[in-house]
Amino acid sequence: MFGEENAIGKLLDWGDEKNRFKIIGVVGDVKVDGDYLPAGKSLYRKLDTAGFKWVNTILLKVSPDADAAFESRLSKLMSRTLVNSNLEIEHLEDIRVFKNNITIIPMIICIIVAAFLIINVALGLFGVLWYNINQRRGEIGLRRAIGASGSSVSLQLVIESLMLATLSIVVGTFFAIQFPLLNVFGVPANVYIIALLLSIAFIYLLVIVCSLYPGKQAAAILPAIALHEE
């Protein structure tokens, strides 16, 4: 708020000139929304009895050995001081866990859904490649008969799968690149770019893994049997 200048002693305008505060200290960054979100601007203000009715949160520093009996005495004292108010005592650690869960739980749900979709994609790739091999047994047998090795046949199927995956990635990248361009969700562009590159690498890896076994099965087709069946 004050650049490289020392903030101690400066006045902070809070809406209008009547609400001006003098800064008497500076603390470290406060992650109000949890550990997984960037720190925001926070303000601690000393209170007096005249300002209690305008406050909805009071932060108290207590000794580590404060127990339930202390909380009971504190609750009674605050109830007598803040008449006709709803009072609730919360621990900072509990608030921190709650804020973190707000971020973590949706991520866990998305990971479960993504894992389910990945399994379905992998099974679909296996099925499509297996069907493709059965439909092309005559072609594979002919290639083997004229001297093609089993590894070249397997490599051909893997390369075909990668080429099809590349066409899909080009289309998907066109839509994915719109997120950093439009600054969706306020996430930095480099996060989107890194996620996009990792996703592309994972898709290629998934395609290679799913096409290796069908390719190996295609390489094991005997030319005489394939041509006879054809």
- pLDDT tens string 88-130: 889 988 999 999 999 899 999 999 999 999 999 888 888 888 7
* 161 assigned to some structural domain: yes
Count the neighbouring beta carbons within 10 Å of the beta carbon of residue 135.
Answer: 9
Range of the domain at 110: 96-229
Average pLDDT of span 166-170? 92
Which has the closest alpha carbon to 49: 83, 5, 86? 83
Total domains in the fold of the chain: 2
5-9, 53-57, 133-137, 216-220: which has the highest mean pLDDT? 5-9
State the first-to-last Cα distance of the chain, in angstroms, to the nearest integer. 78
| Domain co-membership, 14 together with 123 | no
Q: Is residue 65 part of a domain?
A: no
Rounded to whole angstroms, the Cα distance separating 12 from 2 reads 10
Per the domain annotation, does 113 fall within a domain? yes
**6 part of a folded domain:** yes
Considering the domain architecture, whether residues 4 and 106 belong to the same structural domain is answered as no
DSSP 178-198: HHHHHTGGG--HHHHHHHHHH
**Could you tell me if 129 and 210 are in contact, meaning their C-beta atoms sit under 8 angstroms apart?**
yes
Give me 169's structure tokens: 């990635």
Q: Are residues 32 and 116 in the same domain?
A: no
Please give the residue that has the higher pLDDT: either 138 or 182. Answer: 182
Angle value at C-alpha 53, between 49 and 54, nearest 5 degrees = 110
Q: Is residue 120 domain-shared with residue 28, that is, in the same domain? A: no
pLDDT at 230 over 70: no
Residue 60 domain-assigned? no
Residue 140 in any domain: the answer is: yes
Task: Say whether both 142 and 200 belong to one domain.
Answer: yes
What is the pLDDT at residue 116? 95
228: pLDDT strictly greater than 80: no
pTM: 0.63
Is 189 inside any structural domain?
yes
Largest Cα–Cα separation, the chain: 98
Domain end: 10, 27, 46, which one? 46
Position 133 confidence tier, pLDDT thresholds 50, 70, 90: confident
Q: Is the pLDDT of residue 216 over 90?
A: no
Report helix, strand and coil shares of the chain as percent, to nearest 5.
65, 5, 35
10 and 108 share a domain? no
Tokens of 90: 């919360």
Q: Does the pLDDT value for residue 15 go beyond 70?
A: no
> 12 phi and psi, to 5 degrees?
-115, 120
Same domain? For 25 and 105 the reply is no
- Residue 36 and residue 150 in one domain: no
pLDDT of residue 227: 61
Both 124 and 210 in one domain: the answer is yes
Question: Per the domain annotation, does 202 fall within a domain?
Answer: yes
Same domain, 129 and 38: no
Lowest mean pLDDT among 59-63, 169-173, 225-229: 225-229
Is 2 in the same domain as 114?
Answer: no
Decide if pLDDT at 5 tops 70: yes
How many CB atoms are closer than 10 A to CB 218?
26
Same domain, 195 and 119: yes
From CA 129, how far away is CA 122, in angstroms rounded? 11
Beta strand 11-13 with 20-22 is antiparallel
Positive or negative torsion for Cα 61, 64, 65, 67: positive
Tell me the average pLDDT of the chain.
Answer: 84
